[in-house]
Amino acid sequence: MILERIRVDVDAPYDVIVGHGLLDDAATWSPDTGARRAAVVTTPAVEDHYGARLASALRAVDLDVHVRCVPEGETAKSLGVLGGLYDWLASLPLA
């Protein structure tokens, strides 16, 4: 598998990994953090197309997967949606 790692150099830098087949092979890109659970925040359309494949890949690296859908588009960019995500995340023992 050919991967390209792109560093986004902002105040809190992070990497974006680009490559064919990444969705099905989480072992290639998921860091070994000792985490037991993964929280996936997505939209219904993305969940419909890719949710099962991503969840399967994350389970293959022994993660308990929790998925939460937020509304499409600008309606998701609200304090109400963010507060709901915070409440949901706080209810999950992600350590």
Task: Say whether pLDDT at 95 is over 60.
Answer: no
Predicted local confidence at residue 47, as pLDDT? 97
Per-residue pLDDT, 82: 96
State how far the Cα of 25 lies from the Cα of 11, in Å rounded to an integer. 29
User: How long a stretch of residues is the chain?
Assistant: 95
Residue 1: per-residue pLDDT: 65
- CA 17, distance to chain mean position in Å, is 13
CA distance linking residue 75 with residue 40, whole number of Å? 19
pLDDT in tens, 16-63: 888 888 888 887 787 777 788 899 999 999 999 999 999 999 999 999
* Cα angle, residue 19 at apex, residues 14 and 23 outer, rounded to 5°: 90
pTM exceeding the 0.85 threshold for the entire prediction: no
**Residue 74 per-residue DSSP state:** G
The helix/strand/coil state of 63 is coil
